Amino acid sequence: MEIPKLPRGYTQDELIEPQTQLSESHLKSMLRSMNLKVTNQRLSILKALNKGPKSHVTAKDVFEKIRSEYPHIGFATVYRFLKETSRFGITSELRIGHAPARYELKIREHHHHIVCIKCGKIIEFQNEIIEKQIHKISKDHNFSMEHHIFELYGRCNKSSCQ
């Protein structure tokens, strides 16, 4: 099977549209869907995931973004809340070896990741051929697939990663 190439004129980072920004009312609805009280701290954590150029952030990244606004918030609070949002399916947790988990809001279409094992760069992509193969494999083995995660690990083209 031939490996699909990038569309002409596109870079890897352009395969998925930039992260959609959710309204504050949508973020509040997410909290309510978890049966959690809407607090400014929780909302601030979701807002930190919702904005900025980096869509895959660590708990430390989020903590550093919000601690100027909430100096008394602890790292453990941020970490536990992110784990909880992942458990409820509001965020996705991406683990890269022994590095800290990275989180992203689940607000876009289903996608997969290519991860550089040296620098941690994450590329998101969608591929219809891969999706069809995954569903075919599931069907061939008499599985009723509910969801899947597909991550590729390697080294990006930066000279420091080779």
Give the CATH number for residue 31: 1.10.10.10
pLDDT at 51: 75
pLDDT at 7: 40
With 0-12 / 13-18 / 19 or more C-beta atoms within 10 angstroms meaning exposed / middle / buried, residue 90 is: buried
User: Which among 85, 88, 65 is positioned nearest to 75, based on CA atoms?
Assistant: 65
pLDDT at 84: 93
Query: Is residue 156, in this structure, part of any structural domain at all?
Result: yes
Check whether residue 34 and residue 90 sit in a common domain: yes
Low-confidence ranges of the chain (pLDDT < 50): 1-18
Question: What is the C-alpha separation between 85 and 64, in angstroms, rounded?
Answer: 19
Query: Is residue 95, in this structure, part of any structural domain at all?
Result: yes
pLDDT at 8: 43
pTM flag (> 0.85): no
Give the number of C-alpha atoms closer than 13 A to the C-alpha of residue 110, restricted to the C-beta side: 9
DSSP letter at 51? Answer: S
Detail the DSSP E strand segments found in 11-160: 57-58, 91-94, 102-105, 112-116, 122-125, 151-154
Chosen domain end from 82, 108, 134: 108
User: Which among 139, 96, 99 is positioned nearest to 116, based on CA atoms?
Assistant: 96
Check whether residue 42 and residue 118 sit in a common domain: no
Q: What is the mean pLDDT of the chain?
A: 82
The boundaries of the domain holding residue 92 are 23-108
Query: Is residue 3, in this structure, part of any structural domain at all?
Result: no
Check whether residue 47 and residue 98 sit in a common domain: yes
Check whether residue 27 and residue 104 sit in a common domain: yes
pLDDT at 123: 84
Query: Is residue 113, in this structure, part of any structural domain at all?
Result: yes
